[in-house]
Amino acid sequence: MGSTVDQMDETSIPDFYANIKNEEAFIWNSRRNLLREIMTKFGFAQHPNEWWHFSYGDQLWAWKNKKENAFYGKI
């Protein structure tokens, strides 16, 4: 996917590889797009800064989907 999970640098941004013109970047971008497409198809919301981070029912999910309330909050 072009970076490790929890790697906290610019390579974690979901569309980091979108405008890099080489074969490896094309592969990483395609795989990230596929992951995002599948997860959002089933109602998950992607964190804007992390290609691996998806939410369902929490505050991030409510914010991204313009919902008044999350299903659950902090534990």
> Closest by alpha carbon to 36, among 25, 45, 27, 28?
45
pLDDT digits (tens, 9 = 90+) for 1-49: 988 888 889 999 999 999 999 999 999 999 999 999 999 999 999 999 9
- Name the helix (H) or strand (E) containing 56: none
Catalytic residue ranges:
50
> Closest by alpha carbon to 32, among 10, 1, 64?
1
Look up the pTM and report it.
0.84
> Closest by alpha carbon to 48, among 13, 17, 19, 20?
13
- In this prediction, residue 74 has a pLDDT band, given cuts at 50, 70 and 90, of low
**47-71 mean pLDDT:** 92
- Tokens coding 13: 């941004």
The residues with which 54 forms a beta bridge, in sequence order, are 46
